[in-house]
Structure 1
Amino acid sequence: MTANSTGAESKGLVGSDRVLAVLKELARHADGVSLEELTRVMGSPKPTVHRALQSLRRAGLADQDVRGRYLLGDEFLRMAFAHHEARPEHVRLRPVLEALAERFNETVHYAVLDGRDVVYRAKIDPPTGAVRLTSTVGGRNPAHATGVGKLLLADELKTVGDIEAWIGDDALAQRTPQTHCTAAELHEEFEAVRERGYAVDDQENEPGVNCLALPVYATSAKTPSGAVSVSALTYRTPLSTLVDACDEMRSLLGPLGGPLR
């Protein structure tokens, strides 16, 4: 998010909404951020931002280092990590993700659908290899441009009308020349996903990266709780290699995996 967009969004915020907006902005600055920088990015008066920071500090959700810069507090990190580690699907899936990363020597993700985006709940990097992906736990990508997103959308959007309603008035981002952005293109893709039980990303989100995604039924036998993907650098693991190994991936998922219903 740019400074201008953050400022524009924060102008209409008051009270607790502004405190939460400041908290979200702190999360973008791992090395801390000064009050002056935060005021400029938020587009709010300095006293207003300072009061929000003080509220967060009293709750242990923000802190101030020896340089006077503000950053997320230890209490926030404790809650976030405790909540993340306690997620049943995350705990159950970790051995599977590690096995997939070791087998293919590529990055493995577990992601869930959140509106028009996917959110990464877990990530395991390959045990060896100098080049790794920059994705992060908690990070987002457009659902229509990713294997995990297309797989989960295919389970929800069964008709062209469903897809058109989901797209709405905001055009989908063309991340690469390969990205499918129209309702007709996505409908065709989703039908293929439902038929074969897996989804692929053929350099649709990022050039030089492809992936194969499978559904995960961690909380329900009928509805996927999320999806697992092996995301590979094309020069060392072509998409065809992942497709050929799809049955092996399903075997590693065990009872947590299965074809889309």
Structure 2
Amino acid sequence: MQHTQRFPASAAPGTDPAEGDRLVGSDRVLAVLKELARHPDGVALDELTRVIGSPKPTVHRALAALRRAGLAGQDGRGRYLLGDEFLRMAFAHHEARPEHVRVRPLLETLAARFGETAHYAVLDGREVVYRAKADPPTGAVRLTSTVGGRNPAHATGVGKALLAHELGTLDAVRRWMGEAPLEPRTPRTRCTAEELHAELRATRERGYALDDQENESGVTCLAVCVYGTSATVPSGAVSVSALAYRTPLGALVDAVAEIREALGPLKEPF
């Protein structure tokens, strides 16, 4: 059932409280626009009138103003919905924003869902750089990671997710490692070319990367790639990093379909 909500002036941004419970002028138009966004299949005038709490002619005038601006339209059944111009502006604005800003709502959703920290990171040589982070709700224990911080790629879920797309062979892993040995962050860190190659191969096969306390003892992670600029080349990776005692790695694996679904348009096409 579609949830509906009345829009008294006291709850509408920018409304003068002196107007009481009556929407006026631009506030009414904005209330209608916001309600249209809740009905992707369209909504009838009678339903809009009931939800907005204004007379039908008043709501109809607000719709007429939105239609003149291209921000609202009508389908073949006479139901009102967001207009093409609104969608054009929204998508143009969305695409122009830096990807870490676009990913931020996804991270907040994941952090709230799991009560753990969500990260967005990109690959920079042998390291990953965290471009965005969302902490769990207030009261939960939080990780000490910071935006702009770095970690070795081979020890992190986000790093292994991205390396799996770049290093398809054992020779490629060896060339990437070069002469400098990989740092063992914990006793579980995979530091040899053979170990890392096997882990990257497993990552490609299952479609997500795991960090089983390899970067930090007591912290596990599941990471998936995001595709903000290309359908085939990942632009970064998103992870849920969890305290192992609170959210076991198996719980993240069980929820991998949900994590992928949360990516929306940034997820890899399957």
TM bracket (short chain): 0.5 to 0.7
2:216 matched to which residue of 1? 206
Deviation at 1:95, TM superposition (A): 1.1
Amino acid aligned to 2:125: G
Per the normalisation by structure 1, the TM-score is 0.65
Paired residue secondary structure (1:99): helix
Please give the alpha-carbon distance, in whole angstroms, between the structure 2 residues aligned to 1:241 and 1:128.
22
The aligned runs of 1:31-180 (5 Å cut-off) are 88-180=98-190
Count of paired positions: 175
Larger gyration radius, structure 1 or structure 2: 2
Deviation >2 Å, runs of 4+: none
Query: Is residue 105–residue 128 contact of structure 1 (8 Å, CA) maintained in 2?
Result: no
Deviations along 1:117-148, one digit per CA (max 9) or x if unpaired, are: 00000000001334110000000000000000
Farther off after superposition, 140-149 or 89-98: 89-98
Q: Which runs of 5+ in 2 are unaligned?
A: 1-95
Per the normalisation by structure 2, the TM-score is 0.63
Please give the alpha-carbon distance, in whole angstroms, between the structure 2 residues aligned to 1:129 and 1:222.
39
Amino acid aligned to 1:171: P
Amino acid aligned to 2:105: P
Query: Is residue 232–residue 268 contact of structure 2 (8 Å, CA) maintained in 1?
Result: no
Amino acid aligned to 1:135: S
Q: Which runs of 5+ in 1 are unaligned?
A: 1-85
Paired residue secondary structure (1:212): strand
RMSD of aligned Cα (Å): 1.3
Deviation at 1:87, TM superposition (A): 5.1
Identity fraction in percent: 72
